[in-house]
Amino acid sequence: MPNFSIHTKLSGFYLFYYAIIGVFMPFWNLYLQNQGMSFEQIGILSSIAIMTRFFAPLVWGWVADKTGKRMLLIRVATCVESMVWLAVFVIPNQFQYIAMLMLVFSFFQNAILAQFESVTLFWLGNEKTQRYGQIRKWGSVGFIVAVFGTGHALDLISIQFLPVILLGVSLFTFLWAFIVQEPHAAPKAQQRLTPILSILRQKHVAIFFIIEFILLSSFAPFYSFYSNYMHQQRYTTTFIGIFWAVGVIAEIIMFAHAAKLLHRFSWRQLIGCCLLLTSLRWLMVGIFPQLIYVQVFAQMIHAFSFGLFHVIAMRLISASFDPSQQGRGQAVYSTVWGIGVALGSLIAGHYWQIYSGPSIFIGASLLVLCAMPLVYGLPRHPVSQL
C-alpha cells in the first residue's frame, strides 16, 4: 500500500469522488436529453437519483455505526457504482432501465460521502477545525478538473461517450478506497446503538435541518436543469463546464477561509447571509441567463450557498453527535438534502414546460427567503463555540 500521509489519502479520495460528480452532475441530464428524454422524464430520473437519500443514508449510517466498518462499506459502494456505468453499455437506454440504474447507483453512492466524512473527522481528531477545509477542498479540485475536462471533451466527441468517462473515474475511486484505512479512533461494532432523537430535538439542531431542507429544495432546478437551461441559451458544453467550475472554485476559496468566519460571526449572521445570497443567485440565473458575467457572478455565490453552509453543517454534526453517532448524524444531513432536492426536482420537472426556466428559478429565489424567519431561532454566539 502506498506510503502516503493520512492527509494525502483523505484528500485523494475526495478528489476522485467529486470527479465523478463533476462528470455526472453537469452533463448527465444533457446525455438523457440526447437519448430522447423529455424534461418531465429527466425530472423524474433526477429525483430517483436523489430520492434514495430519503432512506439510504439512514440505512448505511445504521450499518456503519453498528459494524464500525465504514471503509469496507465505502469500498463495496464504489465497486457497485462502477458496475452501474458498465451496465449502461449492456441494457437498452430506455426510461425504465435508466430509472433502475439510477436507483441502484444512488442507493450505493449515498453510502459513500456521509461515511467518508465521518472517517475524515475521526482521522483528523482535534485538527478538524483547522484541517477539514484544507482536505475537503481537494474534492472541489477533482470536480473542477472533471468538469473542465469533460466539457471540453464533449465539444470534440459525442455525448454518447459520457458513460465511458463515468466508468473510468469510478474505477479510480474504487481503487483509491483501498488506500484509506479504518481510523483508529472510530468506535467498533456496537451491540446497541445510542439513540439520536434527543439530539435532533435540540432547538438549534432542529432549526438547522429545517433550514437545510428549504435551502436544498431551492437547489433542485439548478442540480437537475441548469445545464439544459444553459444549453437552451446556446452555450457550448465547454462554457457550461466553466460555469459549474466557477462555483466550485469559489467553494475552494471558502473552505480555505471558513474557519476565520466561524470564529468571528454568529450562527444567525452566517446562515442568514447564506440564505440571502442564495436567493440573489437564483434570481440572477432566472432573469439574466444570456449575460455571461452575471452567470459567473451567480456561480461565485456558491461559496456561501453550499461551501460555508456545508462547513457549518460539519461543525454541527461533529460537535452535537458523539463518536458512536457520527454515521447517523451524517446520514440525517444527507437524508434532509435528498428529500429537499428530490421533491424540488419533481416539481421543477413537472412545471418546467408550463412556466419556463426563468420562472422556475425566480420561484426558487422566493423559496429560499421562506427560511429567513427561522434564522432568529439560531444561537447568537459564533459557530466555533459549539
The predicted pLDDT at position 129 comes to 63
CA distance 244 to 142: 12
Q: What is the pLDDT of residues 113-147, one digit of tens each?
A: 778 888 888 887 777 666 777 888 888 889 889 99
What is the domain extent for residue 184? 6-385
Q: Give the CATH number of the domain where residue 335 resides.
A: 1.20.1250.20
Say which range, 126-140, 212-226, 249-263, 266-280, has the weakest mean pLDDT: 126-140
**By mean pLDDT, which of 30-44, 180-194, 339-353, 362-376 is the weakest?**
180-194
pLDDT in tens, 220-249: 999 888 999 999 898 998 899 899 989 988
**Alpha carbons within 13 A on the beta-carbon side of 295:** 20
Does the residue 1 lie in any domain? no
DSSP secondary structure string for all residues of 13-49: HHHHHHHHHHHHHHHHHHHHHHTT--HHHHHHHHHHH
Say yes or no to pLDDT of 193 above 70. Answer: no
What integer best gives the mean pLDDT of the chain? Answer: 87
Average pLDDT rounded to a whole number, residues 271-288? 97
CB contact burial 126-150 (16+ within 10 A = b; e otherwise):
eebbebbbebbbbbbbbbbbbbbbb
Residue 45 in domain: yes
Q: What is the pLDDT of residue 190?
A: 53
How many domains does one find in the chain?
1
Distance of CA 162 to the CA centre of its chain: 20
Separation of alpha carbons 9 and 179, rounded Å = 7
Give percent of the chain with pLDDT exceeding 70. 94
Mean pLDDT of 278-291: 96
Helices (H), 325-382: 326-369
pLDDT at residue 379 in the model: 85
Q: Is residue 116 part of a domain?
A: yes
Look at residue 187 in the predicted model and tell me its pLDDT.
59
Q: With a cut of 80, say whether residue 30 has pLDDT above it.
A: yes
- Per-residue model confidence (pLDDT) at position 216: 92
Confidence of residue 186 (pLDDT cuts 50, 70, 90): low
Mean pLDDT of 90-101: 88
Distance CA 6, CA 8 (A): 5
Task: For residue 366, name the pLDDT band (cuts at 50, 70, 90).
Answer: very high
Answer whether residue 57 shows pLDDT above 90: no
Note the pLDDT of residue 386.
64
pLDDT digits (tens, 9 = 90+) for 305-332: 999 999 899 888 888 888 777 777 877 8
The band of 283, judged by pLDDT with boundaries at 50, 70 and 90, is very high
Residue 212, pLDDT > 60, answer yes
Cα(270)–Cα(145) distance, integer angstroms: 29
